[in-house]
Amino acid sequence: MVDRYKNLDDISNIKSFKDMMRWNKERRSKKKDLTAQIPQTNNKQTAELQVNKNKTTITWVGHSTFLIQIAGFNILTDPVWANWMGVQKRLTPPGISIEELPDIDIVCISHGHYDHLDFPSIKKLKGTPSFYVPAGLGGLFRKKGYRDVTEAKWWESFSYKGLEISFVPAQHWTRRSLLDTNTSHWGGWVLHDNSTAKTIYFVGDTGYFRGFKEIANRYTIDYVLMPIGAYEPEWFMADSHINPEDSIKAFLELKGKHFVPMHYGAYRLADDTGPEALERLNTEWKRLGLPDDQLKTLAIGETIWDLS
């Protein structure tokens, strides 16, 4: 019997055919401006990233793909350079080309949806990375020819040459074919460098859920890489995709030092646009009177250096 993974409190993300038809009808009635897009940085630092071995950095490639340099290692989250996602063309190019990346040591996968797991992109990576994937995905990686694969269940932690890598819950679902719904898990990754005591939490893909409070109880987090897009219509998406206001609520529950927004502006997975998501985030941030220096909104391809 095949294992089927579940969310906390058994929250279901499965929608009916009636729900899909309602969403399609709503989408046809909406007019969205897709000419305005998230900007690319004018200060790409790929040459510096190629040789960096000492400083901790976070570079937003786009969507949920980050190059993270921590503890002397080059780490990629959800590496996706695909120009198309189904019938939707990518709206903004990746901030760094695969050819501009340094050799990759570690790849962390949040779940199996195609906008987070793209094997054609992985095949082009330089280096011989170790793959950390949710439980249930290891077989697919080994079928593709990858052997250095570690499967993780929620709350499991691993040591990679002094770097602690932990898999934590998210509220989502996954599928890569008609028959494999939720046969692999989903979650986020917490990276902790013992030598500097710096911690980066890549949230992955999630709706708002009570698990953020438990994660805060277990980890002291410096940088939270938090999704803010693909939330509209909210009656349909809320179980799986957090909206900008709830992303701030989750960040405050996590007690993180800095908020880095992601999962917006690259692919049109729902009815909201990247600029709409960012505007709602900024409006709520200001309404709550939160410190400006805590919000680290990156242009595509931009790097945060030597994290404080």
Place of tokens 């570079």: 59
Position 34 scores a pLDDT of 85
Asked whether residue 131 is assigned to any structural domain, the reply reads: yes
Full strand arrangement of the beta sheet holding 223-227:
157-160, 163-168, 188-193, 198-202, 223-227, 258-262
Position 305 scores a pLDDT of 95
Position 80 scores a pLDDT of 98
Asked whether residue 23 is assigned to any structural domain, the reply reads: no
Structure tokens at 123: 């095949």
Q: Does the structure show a pLDDT above 90 at 273? A: yes
**What's the structural domain count of the chain?**
1
Mean pLDDT of 87-99: 95
Contact by Cβ (8 Å): 137, 112: yes
How many CB atoms neighbour CB 77 within 10 A?
27
Mean pLDDT of 147-160: 98
Of 300, 308, 307, nearest to 59 by C-alpha is 300
pLDDT in tens, 46-73: 999 999 999 999 999 999 999 999 999 9
Asked whether residue 17 is assigned to any structural domain, the reply reads: no
Position 29 scores a pLDDT of 83
Indicate which CATH number applies to the domain containing 57. 3.60.15.10
Asked whether residue 161 is assigned to any structural domain, the reply reads: yes
Q: How far is residue 96's CA from residue 301's CA, in Å, rounded to a whole number?
A: 6
Asked whether residue 34 is assigned to any structural domain, the reply reads: no
Position 308 scores a pLDDT of 61
Contact by Cβ (8 Å): 9, 168: no
Contact by Cβ (8 Å): 163, 193: yes
pLDDT in tens, 103-149: 999 999 999 999 999 999 999 999 999 999 999 999 999 999 999 99
Asked whether residue 15 is assigned to any structural domain, the reply reads: no
Position 192 scores a pLDDT of 97
Asked whether residue 37 is assigned to any structural domain, the reply reads: no
Q: Which 8-state DSSP code applies to residue 78?
A: S
Dihedral sign of CA atoms 135, 123, 63, 271 in order: negative
Query: Within the chain, where are the H helices?
Result: 17-29, 46-51, 119-123, 138-143, 211-218, 234-237, 244-254, 274-287
Range of the domain at 240: 45-305
Q: How far is residue 25's CA from residue 269's CA, in Å, rounded to a whole number?
A: 16
- How does the average pLDDT of the chain come out, rounded? 96
pLDDT in tens, 239-251: 999 999 999 999 9
pTM, to two decimals: 0.97
pLDDT in tens, 199-244: 999 999 999 999 999 999 999 999 999 999 999 999 999 999 999 9
Q: Does the structure show a pLDDT above 80 at 1? A: no
Asked whether residue 35 is assigned to any structural domain, the reply reads: no
pLDDT in tens, 2-48: 789 999 999 999 899 998 999 888 888 888 888 899 999 999 999 99
